[in-house]
């Protein structure tokens, strides 16, 4: 695409293109829901839950309304109560923190390993107290956390491990048998597996956790008019479940396309211009985002914008610096790694429907920034 100024415009994401690629199947699936006349907790949800459990190697999946509520319900189901502490990464999307805060528990932020941006198991171990009730790592940007290290810390302290998998549909690690107590998923449209609206799910190998969430999501009820506990209303709807069923069949292909673009970026972007993402050993990322770092991030972003390359910052303000936590002890937390990352990170365009020419435009534009950096700066 060419703008009036002649600059090439590379979009960050193209959701329309993914819809168009599978439009006929989406139309069929949605028509099936309209014709059946069942719109909440019907056969489409049951069928997607079974498919997503199979795909993630879980024994159970419970569809819920959003990713945020998936995290909240997973934490409650593994036994986190108001007043308990939950260990979370200091650098994440604020939803991870809000889930903890919303259920009345205390956020305990732990700094990431700076080269992977992922929760550091050794630091987690140091932050466990008698009040800790769960560890909540995030497969940030689609990169798998250190499951070996984090599972060992969780097991050592007898704590449940709940993963925020909102950015990591399809991620894999070795040994794969090492699975958390529960994983919370978001199906927000821009995620690797996205609905045409809001949606979420929790997958687990623990029957007790699945049963608990099945009650929580539907007013504390599994049988009509019988309410066993103080539940909520957080249900995946039939239309979104039908859409997700169609899209799931394309997830591996779409993740493979993301991987090919990431490999091209890793091979062709000059590592002296920006710090490239490091993929931890024994993991297969799904490149929800391709995040580079530069101490000159804002100038780099402008340089790229001038060349028609759309970039975003995930995220410009760390959760503890958000006004939401103003007046709490968290606002005064000393989290230099998170603050530095939030100042330096920049997400380059990367999505399954990206044109190969656009990938090269991005590479040339980033490499051209070398000239813009004053020596020694």
Ligand X SMILES: *Cc1c(COP(=O)(O)O)cnc(C)c1O
Residues in contact with ligand X by CB under 6 A are 66-68, 92-93, 95-96, 138, 164, 166-167, 186, 188, 198, 200
List the structure tokens of 108. Answer: 């305990």
Closer CB to ligand X, 85 or 198, in the complex: 198
Around Cβ 278, how many Cβ atoms within 10 Å?
Answer: 14
Give 61 or 365: the residue with its C-beta nearer to ligand X: 61
Tokens of 152: 């060992």
Nearer to ligand X among residue 99 and residue 359 (C-beta): 99
How far apart are alpha carbons 133 and 144 in whole angstroms? 22
CB of 36 to ligand X, least distance (A): 25
Shortest CB 96 distance to ligand X, Å: 5
Structure tokens at 372: 């813009």
Residue closer to ligand X (CB basis): 8 or 15: 15
Long-range CB pairs of 217-226, under 8 A, 24+ apart, other chains included: 217/62, 217/63, 217/64, 217/65, 217/69, 217/73, 218/41
- Give residue number: closest CB to ligand X: 67
Q: First and final CA of the chain: distance in angstroms?
A: 34
Q: Which is nearer to ligand X, 140 or 359 (CB)?
A: 140
- Closest CB 180 distance from ligand X, rounded Å: 15
Burial of 129 (0-12, 13-18, 19+ CB in 10 A): exposed
Cα atoms found within 13 Å of the Cα of residue 245, Cβ hemisphere only: 25
Closer to ligand X at the Cβ: 138 or 210?
138
Nearest to 365 by CA among 313, 312, 315, 311: 311
**Which residue shows structure tokens 């859409």?**
243
**Number of Cβ within a 10 Å radius of residue 247:** 24
Q: How many Cβ atoms sit within 10 Å of the Cβ of residue 50?
A: 13
Do the bridges between strand 162-164 and strand 200-204 make them parallel or antiparallel, or are there none, so unpaired? unpaired
Nearest approach in angstroms of CB 256 to ligand X is: 21
The helix (run of H) or strand (run of E) holding residue 289 is: none
Residue 132's CB is within 10 A of a number of other CB atoms, namely 19
CA 215 to CA 289: how far, in whole Å? 34
CB of 167 to ligand X, least distance (A): 5
Closest approach, Cβ 92 to ligand X, in A, equals 5
Of 93 and 369, CB closest to ligand X: 93
Query: Given the complex with ligand X, which of 171 and 359 has the nearer CB atom?
Result: 171
Cβ neighbour number for residue 271 with a 10 Å cutoff:
9
Residue 269 vs 291, nearer CB to ligand X: 291
Q: Are 186 and 67 in contact (CB under 8 A)?
A: yes
CA distances in angstroms from 305 to 58, 178, 312, listed in the order given: 42, 42, 10
């Amino acid at each position: 695409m060419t703008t009036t100024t002649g600059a090439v415009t590379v979009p960050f994401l193209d959701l329309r293109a993914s819809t168009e690629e599978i439009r006929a199947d989406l139309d069929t699936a949605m028509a099936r829901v309209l014709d059946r006349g069942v719109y909440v907790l019907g056969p489409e949800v049951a069928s997607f839950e079974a498919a997503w459990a199979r795909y993630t190697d879980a024994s159970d999946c419970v569809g819920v309304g959003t990713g945020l509520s998936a995290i909240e319900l997973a934490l409650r189901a593994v036994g986190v109560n108001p007043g308990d502490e939950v260990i979370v990464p200091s650098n994440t999307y604020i939803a991870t923190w809000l889930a903890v805060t919303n259920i009345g528990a205390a956020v305990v932020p732990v700094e990431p390993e700076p080269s992977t941006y992922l929760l550091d198991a050794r630091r987690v171990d140091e932050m466990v107290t008698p009040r800790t009730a769960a560890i909540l790592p995030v497969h940030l940007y689609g990169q798998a956390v250190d499951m070996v290290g984090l599972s060992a810390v969780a097991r050592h302290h007898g704590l449940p491990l709940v993963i925020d998998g909102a950015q990591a549909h399809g991620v894999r690690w070795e040994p794969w048998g090492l699975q958390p107590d529960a994983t919370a998923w978001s199906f927000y449209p821009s995620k690797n597996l996205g609905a045409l609206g809001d949606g979420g799910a929790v997958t687990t190998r623990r029957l007790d956790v699945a049963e608990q969430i099945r009650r929580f999501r539907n007013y504390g009820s599994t049988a009509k008019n019988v309410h066993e506990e103080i539940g909520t209303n957080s249900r995946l709807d039939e239309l979104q479940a039908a859409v997700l069923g169609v899209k799931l069949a394309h997830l591996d292909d779409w993740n493979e396309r993301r991987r090919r673009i990431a490999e091209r970026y890793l091979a062709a972007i000059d590592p002296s211009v920006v710090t490239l993402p490091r993929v931890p050993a024994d993991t297969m990322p799904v490149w929800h985002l391709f995040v580079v770092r530069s101490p000159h991030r804002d100038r780099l972003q402008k340089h790229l914008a001038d060349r028609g390359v759309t970039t975003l910052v995930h995220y410009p303000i760390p959760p503890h610096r958000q006004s939401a936590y103003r007046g709490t002890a968290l606002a005064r937390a000393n989290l230099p790694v998170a603050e530095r990352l939030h100042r330096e990170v920049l997400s380059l365009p990367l999505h399954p429907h990206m044109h190969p020419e656009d990938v090269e435009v991005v590479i040339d534009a980033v490499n051209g920034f070398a000239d813009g950096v004053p020596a020694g700066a």
